[in-house]
Amino acid sequence: MVDYVEEVNIPPFAGTPSSQSRVLTTAVRLGVRPFTGRIKGRSATIRLWRSLLGAGSRCLRADPRVSVEPIIDPCVEDPNVERPVRGEWLRSPGCSPERGAILYLHGGGYAICSPRTHRVMTTRLAMDTDLPVLAPDYRLAPEHPFPAAFEDVLDAYRLLLARGFSSDRIIIAGDSSGGHLATALTAEACRTGLPVPAGVVLFSPWVDLTGELAMASVSSSRDPYIVPAVATRFGRLYVGKGDWADPRLSLLTCPSEELPPFLIQVGGIEVLRAEAEALAEVLDEAGSPYDLQVWPEQMHVFQIFNRLLPEADAAMREASRFIRRVLGTGSITEAA
């Protein structure tokens, strides 16, 4: 464990899961997993899931105090940005951009979801940290395979730099495939000489796109949501004709040095737990600072239920504390 911040206290819900958590996990296992297991990767099926998840996300109420500003920014200041950055800015009433910014990369297997589906997380981060949050609407597979999504988030990072945000005031965060993007983007900055962000926050990161780790650990997990075979299909959709050994894809075999501090949160029963632990091992071997938090009995990206589950609320607070400690901006704002 690292010593760049004071040691994190044991999360208040690290023991027996709450009754809300048990009910939700059971509901997802019975009501969602049977359907996710049938996703074959066909374009029509993916379009259907995009619609369903887009509609379902409206049931998770984002914080109404946070302003949401859609953007299409060509970023003419940086000639390396080849296409306009699309997405949205999220700002709390007490937003202090001089303190820094968060670049949030949404999950969804590189094929589904959007900044809108993840507003319950981005608005929470905006309120807890009082930092502006940029959530890019990156291109999705199968219409846009690798490196489309990576290029879009790299452009979004360049946009922040062009807008005057110093790299040591930028946090890159992401969940699931967004966690893969966040790690790949940070490592790319280290490899290419691009200014390196101050820190990285990963929620249930999808690290191994081949699906090998997930398939190997499926017998020991009780994941109520992710079917490893489906994750493997999504990985193939994104990689397409790309080289699986490309360092922007293969995070576990292409480690980088001089990475910033990482916070990795993962649910104890999700099938991607082994991937989060493998990434922590890579960071440890490279001598990079990190904090791995395994939240017992929690599912994949449980933090998205931060208005429903006490565990998710506590995890989001831990993430915001990490951000404020890395940036040196004091205690978190109390969320209502």
Cα distances from 282 to residues 190, 235, 251, 313, in angstroms, run 15, 21, 9, 28
The predicted model gives 250-273 an average pLDDT of 89
Decide: helix, strand or coil at residue 134: strand
**E strand or H helix at 91, and its extent?**
strand 85-91
Measured CA to CA, the distance from residue 256 to residue 133 in angstroms comes to 26
The predicted model gives 136-153 an average pLDDT of 97
Could you tell me if 55 and 116 are in contact, meaning their C-beta atoms sit under 8 angstroms apart? no
Residue of 21, 57, 176, 256 marked active site: 176
Measured CA to CA, the distance from residue 259 to residue 286 in angstroms comes to 9
* The one-letter amino acid at 234: F
pTM for the model: 0.92
What are 25-54's pLDDT values in tens digits?
Answer: 888 887 776 666 566 666 767 888 788 777
What are 51-78's pLDDT values in tens digits?
Answer: 877 777 777 889 999 999 999 999 999 9
pLDDT at 85 over 60: yes
**E strand or H helix at 70, and its extent?**
strand 67-73
What are 221-261's pLDDT values in tens digits?
Answer: 678 878 888 889 899 999 999 999 999 999 998 766 789 99
Measured CA to CA, the distance from residue 81 to residue 74 in angstroms comes to 8
Please state the three-class secondary structure of 265-292 as a single string: EEECCCCCHHHHHHHHHHHHHHCCCEEE
What are 165-184's pLDDT values in tens digits?
Answer: 999 999 999 999 999 999 99
176 is catalytic: yes
Could you tell me if 5 and 325 are in contact, meaning their C-beta atoms sit under 8 angstroms apart? yes
Angular region, 185: left φ>0, alpha ψ -120 to 50, beta rest = alpha
